[in-house]
Amino acid sequence: MKKELMEILACPVCKGELELKIEAEDAEEIITGELICHKCNETYPIEEAIPNLLPPSMRT
Ligand SMILES: [Zn+2]
């Protein structure tokens, strides 16, 4: 995902701000990392440049 996406992304549960933790990135995109909501104490993984913003209860 592109870093600019952070400006529009919000926690799917509380609509709060997300903190970005980058594990791997290239010139354009974040490849792997995490989006963290401190309000919900929840993390959403970014894998293969795609953020998984499903609430934890809906993940398979
Ligand atoms: Zn939240």
Ligand 1 centroid to Cα of residue 30, in Å, is 21
Burial class (CB in 10 A: 0-12, 13-18, 19+), 16: exposed
Diameter of the chain measured on Cα atoms? 33
Q: What is the pLDDT of residues 25-45, one digit of tens each?
A: 999 999 999 999 999 999 999
Ligand 1 centroid to Cα of residue 8, in Å, is 14
What are the structure tokens assigned to 41, written together? Answer: 């104490």
Ligand 1 centroid to Cα of residue 50, in Å, is 19
Ligand 1 centroid to Cα of residue 41, in Å, is 7
- Average pLDDT across the chain, whole number: 94
What is the pairing mode between strands 50-51 and 42-47? antiparallel
Model-wide pTM > 0.85: yes
